[in-house]
Each structure stands twice: as C-alpha cells, then as structure tokens.
Amino acid sequence: MTIPVDGTHIPAWVRWLAQDASGDWWGYEAEPHEHEHGWYENEVGHCIRLKHAPANPKWRASLQKYIVY
C-alpha cells in the first residue's frame, strides 16, 4: 500500500503508520491496537495525526511498520 504521507513530515520516533476509517493517517511509536473505527496506542509511546485523506473502508489493512533507512 502506498502511504500518502510526506516522509519529511514524519517524526523520527514513528515506527508504525495506519489509517483510520475516517481517512486520517496516524504515526505511532509502538505498534497500535485496533478498535472499532481506527487504532490506539494503548498508552504506550506517542502518536501523531499526519494527514487527512478520503475515508477508507479497508482501513484495517493499512497498518504497516515504518522503517527509515
């Protein structure tokens, strides 16, 4: 899946990316957990809203490890 987020705006601590049902892309420090309409960090690490995009009915398939080389 292509991530429509400019990598230059992703903080260095982000290790996971995911989109929620409303279309927002989020960055997470720790692997997030799924909830009814998106993801949550379970009070472990930080999260940040990165970008809004169109709603995605397949948001559950968006979670991916983010590795910067």
Dist CA 26 CA 2 (whole Å): 14
Question: Does residue 14 lie within any of the structural domains?
Answer: yes
Q: Does any domain span residue 68?
A: no
Structural domain that includes position 38: 7-60
How far apart (Å, rounded) are the C-alpha atoms in residues 69 and 27? 17
Task: Give CA–CA dist 43/55, Å, rounded.
Answer: 25
| Domain membership flag for residue 15 | yes
pLDDT of residue 44: 83
Count how many domains the chain has: 1
In a domain, 66, yes or no: no
User: Could you report the per-residue pLDDT of 20-36, keeping only the tens digit for each?
Assistant: 999 999 999 999 999 99
Q: Is residue 65 part of a domain?
A: no
Taking only the tens place, the pLDDT of each residue in 30-69 is: 999 999 999 998 788 899 999 999 999 999 999 999 987 7
| Three state DSSP letters for 19-55 | ECCCCEEEEECCCCEEECCEEECCCCCCEEEEEECCC
